[in-house]
Chains A and B, each alone.
Chain A
Amino acid sequence: MNIGIVNPSNMVGYDKAIESGLVDKSYQKKMDKMQAKAKEEGNVGWSADLEFNKQAPIAAIKGIGSKYAAALGEMNILNFATTRGGLGFELLAGQIGKEGVTNLRNLQQALKACMA
């Protein structure tokens, strides 16, 4: 098991991801639709989040290595939906390994340094 003690404020939010051009517009529409539906049903909890995660396609995130693109998108989604960034890292550790998490952390820092 991997425990990630991550402050959610460290994460790049979904809005920022859209602003940066990381999220493809068609995917954004899909996300917005799903979010609206979840709100309508009074459900912004885990079932909706996991649904988002399942549907994070690599092609939806542009401009960075495909290996991490989906993972970065997934973290954004987790942050957007739940602000539970720690769990995001925990999930990621199982998917892309320790090296992947290291690279992803560094990519996140780079992204944060570019966003005013």
Chain B
Amino acid sequence: MHGLGSVGKLVRAKMPQPRFGAGCLSVPDTWGMAATLEYTEPRRVGLAVPLAGKSDTRLPGANIMIVREPALHQTARGELDNFVSGYASSTQAFSRLGDGDATFVDGSVGVFASFAFSIGNYRAAQCHLFRVDDGIATHITVSVDENSKKRLEKELLDVALGFQVAC
């Protein structure tokens, strides 16, 4: 399935790139380690509908979470499959939107899969991208409300593919 297969045609958004170093800490070798970075889009303003007496509505913003930790599998596909098998069973009304290979801006090839599912009274859509570099797995999660799922393929996946190990 390649529901989001038009990734390569997207125009990369020009935007300033905030940079955070993950930092480091001296701990025993036996400790686990993971670095997490989150980007949160501000709330958006929806269209007003004057004839219906509705003023501007506030729409939730998307968010992107990046988690880097030692890889459990040698390939990005292995990481993705391992994640999906557990995640699918932890959500309700889970449906797959698309999946495929994805090339990051630095040339690294990863894989992605996107889903929609229910959470509470809401429906969310997420795209999960994985890549493995030198034994470190990078898991990028792009989240939107399901009404905005088209944004996953039209703009947000492209932003996520801009991930680079060293900025």
Contact = CB atoms under 8 A, between A and B. Distances in A.
A10 B123 CA distance: 20
Chain B CB within 10 A, most for which of A68, A106, A110:
A110
B120 A20 contact: yes
A107 interface: yes
B63 A64 contact: no
Interface stretch (A32-40, A46-54, A77-85, A96-104): A96-104
Given A109-B143, A110-B126, A102 B65 contact: no
Interface residues on B, range: 35 or more
Contact of B65 (A1, A109, A114): A109
A103 B86 contact: yes
A30 interface: no
B90 A113 contact: no
Nearest to B115: A110
Chain A CB within 10 A, most for which of B61, B63, B126, B143:
B143
Interface string B110-137: 0000000111111110101000000000
A111 interface: yes
Nearest to B139: A102
Nearest to A66: B90
B24 to A, nearest CB: 12
A106 B127 CA distance: 11
A114 B90 contact: no
30 contacts: A1-B31, A20-B120, A22-B120, A22-B121, A63-B92, A63-B119, A63-B120, A63-B121, A64-B90, A64-B118, A65-B89, A65-B90, A68-B90, A102-B83, A103-B86, A103-B90, A105-B65, A106-B128, A109-B38, A109-B141, A110-B143, A112-B143, A113-B60, A113-B61, A114-B60, A114-B119, A114-B120, A114-B122, A114-B124, A116-B59
